[in-house]
Structure 1
Amino acid sequence: MTITAFFVFLFLRTASGLLDPVDFLVLQSVRSSLEDMPGSHFFASWDFSRDPCFFSGVFCSGDRVVALSLGDPRAGSPGLFGHLDPSIGDLTALAELTVVPGRLIGPLPPTLARLTNLKFLAMSRNFLSGTIPSEISSLRQLRTLDLSFNLLSGAIPAGLGLIRTLSNVVLCHNRLSGSVPSLCSASLVRLDLSNNDLSGGISCMPDSLQHLSLSQNRLSGSIDRVISRNQRLNFLDLSLNLFSGGIPPRVFSFPMRGLFLQRNLFTGPLRPAAEVTIPTVDVSFNRLWGGISPFFSSVRRLYLNNNLLSGAVPAQFVAKLMDGEIEILYLQHNYLTGIQVSPASELPRRSSFCVQYNCMLPPSQMSCPFKAGREKIRPASQCVSHRG
């Protein structure tokens, strides 16, 4: 657009009370810093001789841009490539900013801190790099922060814990390091920091959390503070970390759809206080010992394999397994000493059952995963030393 055309445009805008001139210039800068990936036609409507409020992804209220969705949001559509222009921080009325999955590169501009009205910020599945600017903590109206599946590194800004409106924080699948900051917002419902390089213990988790995933990090210590008083959790994934100590019995009473604690350093017995109604429970590859509680027989998919469990398998498990109420029962690589399965019983086709490499002869109905190995029975010397 020529300078003359721009001033004509401004005159028409002023006369009709339309888009703010600063917002107009910012949209031009955004357009110059981004391009459609092959197959994308998102910017086809961005003709600056027309009203920008009718551009794809631009939403206005009065003379201001209040929402900006960059890229075609339809699933599977190609995204954009380029970088996010720092001038975007001048869209001071912006409440929502999203970038669809694509090849957005470079750092997050610290100028995002100027968007004091921002409530929703999502730029998942791009190639953003650098650190998360500490200035982002000044967005005190922010409710959703989703920067997942990028190349972000460095620490999570400690100031995020001061944003009391936050309800969703999704930073998974990055290269973030350092500790998990204290996130005690009473509004926080979803927290996903999985697949990073975070370390240290967990200081504080709010009672409002319903979805918590910290898997595939290097987090350590007890999980008591993670679930101290929380009774709202419906999904908990702490797998592939270095958590240690016992698994608190109360975690098995939460109304969850999935509990994943596998591949940690948990020790001690498993002692749920009542029947466990969680559909999937995975505590495999830990150092848990003692007997198997019959309260776990109501779990549809149960992974207790690769621990130090001993004693006989309760009869309730066999009955529900043969009735098809249990879909997966993995007990392999423990020190179990008995299971009563009738040779005439037939395992339902949809069920998987494995009890090999224990201190007993396994039944013929087993259906073990390939990774369980070929050895059927644990060496007698190991079984004797374990009892001792």
Structure 2
Amino acid sequence: MAKKCSLLLLAFVLYLIHCQSTIAQLQNKISAIDLDALHQIKNTLIDIHAVSSPHFFSSWDFASGDPCSSFAGVTCSSSEQPRRVESLVLGTGLSGSPGFAGTLSPFIANLTELSQLVLFAGIVTGSIPSELGSLKKLRVISLTNNLLTGTIPASIFSLPDLHTLDLGHNQLSGTMPPTISASIQLKVLVLADNKISGQLPRGFPEKLLHLDFSQNNISGMLPARMSASLRYLSASQNRMWGPLNCLESTLELEYLDLSMNNFSGGLPTSLFQPKLTSMLLQRNNLSGGFPPLAPYPYGPGSIIDLSRNFLTGELTRVLVGVESLFLNNNQLKGTVPKEYFGSLSLGKTKTLYLQHNYITGFPTAAESSWPPWDLVAVCISYNCMEVPVVVGIMACPSGIGEQISRPAYQCSAFHNRNTTPKEKED
């Protein structure tokens, strides 16, 4: 009797184990729709792997593997049954990883619980599936450093929770969809290094923090009012023009790069504020002078480049303390304030380029007052000083020319006229 009871107990225990195993399998079962979508995504991408490295898709074993626990780059929900794909990261992002070729499957849109879609660098071609606009839970779309073509699907900007859209370094064309401003939760927008043309939309989302559309073919002016929350703005190497008055509301800016465009007019006083420690406005048509403000406490790493513009008047103290300051190839005159020399002596300023202006005086001091030569780079050649400062010549960039001072007739003509030269000095 005891033996029979033991056998019955053993059978019951085995039954429980079987039930628990079955329940666990049911709990880990992925949605059939999501499973098919993963199949389709894999079929349209080619894993360009090095001989010594494994395939990214080597873990995608549809015969026996569990996509939610063993597929590289796939993250599923933990509570919903059947389980749904919530994050899809295609590639490793490791240095030297060649990524994928092929195209992006429109079947991605069947992953209706997807909140994050990332495609790391490779040579993926074709267009961005417009079907992505149906994935209402998407928060992050990052498809950078590939060869994607076509236009940006306007439907993407209707996603209610979209936080980050990074499509930089592809071959996208067309214009920016006017629906961008409707993306109320968008905080990061990167479209750099594409072939986008036309003019900007009338506005951008109010909550936008990071905006980068540099290295495109965009023309026209900046919107009349930029997002007040912006901290990073890069529009360099486009064909934009007009004044910078729209930046007066961007008091949170920390990084600004509008270099190599055709912007004109004066420098808004609002740009000279402590948070903005990287201001790159070189190679434009900016004019006017500097505001007579006291210097801000610029710290290590600060850089301001206003070179190759049409800035006039005398240099004020407003930029004292900037670590790397480039004011060369403008139309500045007068004497450089002594505080700039003091900032060099203290090691706060490490680069000061003032060459190719009409400056008539630079603070002089004993040779012993200068910081070590390997710690500073100062260039003040080709100005209108009667006795050029030798120390401001030795550190000039190569190719600046053999003339240390401007010819006297140029200085005389400049200081005796009220109009400014029509072309920038090279």
TM-score, normalised on structure 1?
0.93
CA shift at 1:122, angstroms? Answer: 0.1
Contact 1:250 1:272 in 2 (8 A): no
**Which residue pairs with 1:83 in the alignment?**
103
**Matched residues in 1 for 2:166 and 2:256: separation?**
19
Of the three residues 239, 242, 261, the one matched with 1:221 is: 242
**Matched residues in 2 for 1:83 and 1:105: separation?**
5
**Which residue pairs with 1:242 in the alignment?**
262
Of the three residues 374, 379, 383, the one matched with 2:407 is: 379
- Any gaps of 5 or more consecutive residues in structure 2? 1-21, 417-426
SS in 1 for 2:343: helix
Aligned length: 377
CA shift at 1:13, angstroms? Answer: 11
CA shift at 1:371, angstroms? Answer: 4.0
Contact 1:13 1:19 in 2 (8 A): no
Q: Within 5 A, what are the aligned runs for 1:20-31?
A: 20-31=31-42
The more displaced of 275-284 and 187-196 is 275-284
Of the three residues 325, 330, 333, the one matched with 2:348 is: 325
SS in 1 for 2:197: strand
Q: Does 1:120 align with 2:145?
A: no
Larger strand percent: 1
Q: Within 5 A, what are the aligned runs for 1:303-382?
A: 303-342=326-365, 344-345=367-368, 346-348=370-372, 349-360=374-385, 361-366=387-392, 367-382=395-410
Q: Match for 2:406: what amino acid?
A: R
CA distance 1:253–1:17, shift in 2 (3 Å) = closer
Q: Match for 2:390: what amino acid?
A: S
Contact 1:267 1:289 in 2 (8 A): yes
CA distance 1:89–1:272, shift in 2 (3 Å) = farther
Superposed CA offset, 1:198-251 (max 9, x none)? 1101113111111111111111111111x2222111111111111100001221
Of the three residues 64, 71, 74, the one matched with 1:58 is: 74
Q: Does 1:46 align with 2:71?
A: no
SS in 1 for 2:180: helix
TM-score, normalised on structure 2?
0.85
**Matched residues in 1 for 2:403 and 2:195: separation?**
39
Q: Does 1:150 align with 2:176?
A: no
Identity of aligned residues (%): 39
Of the three residues 218, 232, 250, the one matched with 1:198 is: 218
**Matched residues in 1 for 2:278 and 2:218: separation?**
22
The more displaced of 319-328 and 76-85 is 319-328
SS in 2 for 1:88: helix
Of the three residues 162, 165, 173, the one matched with 2:182 is: 162
Q: Match for 2:216: what amino acid?
A: N
- Any gaps of 5 or more consecutive residues in structure 1? 1-10
C-alpha RMSD of matched pairs (Å)? 1.9
Contact 2:128 2:153 in 1 (8 A): yes
CA distance 1:344–1:15, shift in 2 (3 Å) = closer
**Matched residues in 1 for 2:206 and 2:231: separation?**
12
**Matched residues in 1 for 2:113 and 2:46: separation?**
24
**Matched residues in 2 for 1:301 and 1:19: separation?**
55
SS in 2 for 1:121: strand
CA shift at 1:131, angstroms? Answer: 1.1
Q: Match for 2:219: what amino acid?
A: S
The more displaced of 216-225 and 175-184 is 175-184
